[in-house]
């Protein structure tokens, strides 16, 4: 760098740390010392602002050749184009191939960016560009790490508590307070708009986002629900059911009524609590049948009787538990496919699960068992597994393997939710009418496809959906043909009426013509007689002798 070069300058001022703006170096670089240098900051409108700073806050403009086409994975350090400069942050969540969430340290904040607004970050170290290592944000000891989806309790008015969908920006050192941002502000538009300030809340004002429980059925009168009315979810009761999947919901706190669509309602907190274990402090309680607990060093300890059987192995085990809903053959296949398979997860609350066969006898004993990535502690399992719908359905062996990548706190709850969703989907077939929209059948297909990834046997339901879709296609085709024939019949009826009207008009014209013809014929006869008389008189006159008058 030399005097007159276009460079980038940073700052240690609060709110500007990690940001880089273009400037012109006005002073030559000293060989020694820590002398302040003058730079002219370049604004977007071409104007400049003089600033003095130290050499450690200067760097050359990174060459374009540094930036390669990469996927911005979680943990990579990036620079985001923002407010005329480049701001250093870390990708904490990848939404899709085009959008990511980026965390900024000073001040703590979280924003959503398109990948076109990002570039890789490089440090200028000893006259070279150095790529920093990826950052790790997830902590096994923390439930509320940066980027975690939560709901925050805020007061709307004097008495109404509203749960606002939000995201954790930063967990404070004491782990009892958190910086949070409402989810709708994470996509803040930087052009001409000030960002909304974040909030710091205590542990009592925050909860994890309830697990998604698919509700394919309609809500019923007087059912307790939660309804989304900006800015968040409020408890209420369904007081009216309308067509087009609309409902009138009365808020419990204010007795106000609102008409909302189906997708603006969800199960109440109490209903979800019946499906999900809310105990976040003791997720590994001892199970007398096949218990697994954590030792002081974080490793899993096997009960004493198990230690006597495989003290030579000292391996970690996932819980293996009998499920009366599961079929023997599919359970055998599940155990066989998971033998010698290890799932290593890096997310918060996840753990290593390793299942290895001890002997052929042990494998035979496990033929009626299925490996699950969580401990079955809820009393709801027996109730759900003995539901009447499962007695009529094919035997099920859900393994819930994808849940191994989720937080351990939610695994059992999400599994219970999927069991309930599967049963509701099966029951919904009984209430289908011939006029069911094809979009609802497509929704069933998507739901069953998601459940299939967790080990549910959906061949029967999928086959039925395909048959119903084929029938709907035939039904729609027949309806189109029927409507086409009706249109042709209507057009033909109009043509017949027109022809009949024209026929009546022609008949009247024919009768008039006959009448006129008759009158003309009479007149013609009269004229014929006159002509005969004139001819006779003409002949008589011409033949009269000349002597006669």
Q: Which of 16-25, 216-225, 508-517 has the highest mean pLDDT?
A: 508-517
Element containing residue 308 per DSSP (H, E): helix 304-309
Give the pLDDT of residue 248. Answer: 92
CB contact at 8 A, 257 and 239: yes
d(CA 372, CA 403): 9
CB contact at 8 A, 93 and 82: no
Is residue 314 exposed (0-12), middle (13-18) or buried (19+ Cβ within 10 Å)? Answer: exposed
Average pLDDT over residues 499-527: 90
pTM of the model: 0.48
Average pLDDT over residues 491-503: 90
CB contact at 8 A, 169 and 108: yes
Question: 3-state SS of 388-427?
Answer: HHHHHCCCCCCCCHHHHHCCHHHHHHHHHHHHHHHHHHHH
User: Tell me: the pLDDT tens digits for 212-269?
Assistant: 666 667 788 888 889 998 888 999 999 888 877 889 999 888 888 889 988 889 888 7
CA dihedral 146, 151, 157, 161 (to 10 degrees): -140
Indicate the length of the chain as a whole number: 549
DSSP 143: S
Q: How many CB atoms lie within 10 A of CB 280?
A: 14
d(CA 240, CA 223): 10
Residue 321's nearest CA partner among 342, 311, 335 is: 335
d(CA 326, CA 367): 11
CB contact at 8 A, 421 and 451: yes
d(CA 109, CA 103): 6
d(CA 268, CA 532): 114
Quote the percentage of the chain above a pLDDT of 70. 77
Does pLDDT of 496 surpass 90?
yes
CA dihedral 369, 374, 378, 380 (to 10 degrees): -60
CB contact at 8 A, 54 and 39: no
Spatial neighbors of 402 by CB under 8 A, at least 6 apart, are 453, 454
Mean pLDDT in the chain?
76
- For the record, the structure tokens of 283 come out as 């997720």
CB contact at 8 A, 408 and 351: yes
User: Tell me: the pLDDT tens digits for 292-334?
Assistant: 333 333 334 334 434 434 443 333 333 333 343 333 333 333 3
């Amino acid at each position: 760098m030399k005097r007159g070069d276009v460079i980038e300058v940073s700052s240690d001022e609060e709110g500007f740390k990690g940001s880089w703006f273009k400037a012109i170096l006005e002073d030559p670089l000293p060989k020694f010392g820590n002398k302040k240098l003058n730079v002219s900051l370049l604004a977007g409108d071409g104007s400049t602002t003089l600033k003095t700073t130290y050499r450690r806050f200067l760097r050359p403009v990174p060459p374009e050749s540094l930036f390669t086409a990469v996927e911005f994975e979680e943990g990579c350090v990036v620079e985001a184009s923002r407010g005329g400069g480049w701001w250093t942050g870390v990708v904490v969540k990848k939404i899709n191939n085009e959008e990511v969430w980026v965390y900024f340290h000073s001040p703590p904040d979280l924003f959503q960016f398109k990948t076109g607004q990002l570039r890789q970050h490089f440090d200028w170290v000893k006259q070279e560009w150095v790529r920093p290592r990826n950052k790790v944000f997830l902590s096994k000891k923390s439930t509320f790490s940066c980027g975690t989806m939560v709901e925050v309790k805020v007061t709307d008015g004097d008495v109404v508590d509203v749960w606002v969908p939000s995201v954790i920006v930063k967990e404070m050192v004491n782990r009892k307070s958190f910086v949070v941002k409402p989810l709708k502000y994470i996509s803040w538009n930087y052009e001409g708009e000030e960002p909304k300030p974040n909030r710091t809340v205590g542990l009592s004002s925050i909860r994890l986002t309830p697990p998604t429980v698919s509700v394919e059925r309609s809500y019923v009168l007087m059912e307790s629900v939660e309804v989304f009315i900006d800015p968040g979810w409020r408890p209420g009761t369904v007081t009216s059911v309308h067509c087009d999947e609309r409902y009138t919901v009365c808020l419990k706190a204010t007795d106000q009524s609102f008409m909302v669509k189906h997708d603006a309602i969800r199960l109440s907190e109490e209903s979800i609590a019946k499906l999900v274990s809310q105990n976040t402090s003791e997720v590994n309680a001892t199970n007398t049948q096949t218990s697994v607990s954590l030792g002081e060093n974080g490793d899993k300890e096997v009960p004493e009787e198990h230690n006597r059987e495989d003290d030579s192995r000292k391996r970690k085990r996932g819980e293996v538990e009998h499920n009366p809903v599961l079929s023997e053959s599919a359970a055998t296949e599940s155990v066989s496919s998971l033998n010698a398979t290890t799932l290593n997860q890096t997310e918060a609350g996840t753990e290593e699960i390793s299942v290895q066969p001890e002997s052929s006898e042990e494998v035979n004993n496990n033929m009626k068992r299925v490996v699950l990535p969580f401990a079955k502690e809820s009393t709801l399992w027996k109730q759900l597994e003995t539901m009447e719908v499962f007695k009529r359905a094919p035997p099920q062996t859900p393994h819930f393997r994808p849940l191994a990548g989720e937080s351990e706190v939610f695994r059992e709850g999400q599994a219970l939710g999927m069991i309930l969703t599967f049963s509701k989907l099966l029951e919904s077939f009984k209430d289908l009418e011939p006029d069911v929209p094809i979009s609802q059948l497509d929704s069933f297909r998507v739901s069953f496809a998601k459940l299939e990834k967790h080990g549910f046997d959906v061949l029967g339901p999928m086959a039925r959906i395909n048959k119903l879709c084929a029938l709907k296609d035939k039904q729609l085709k027949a309806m189109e043909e029927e409507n086409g024939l009706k249109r042709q019949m209507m057009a033909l009826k109009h043509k017949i009426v027109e022809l009949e009207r024209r026929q009546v008009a022609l008949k009247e014209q024919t009768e008039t013509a006959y009448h006129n013809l008759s009158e003309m014929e009479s007149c013609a006869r009269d004229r014929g007689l006159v002509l005969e008389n004139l001819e006779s008189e003409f002949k008589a006159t011409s033949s009269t002798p000349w002597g006669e008058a």
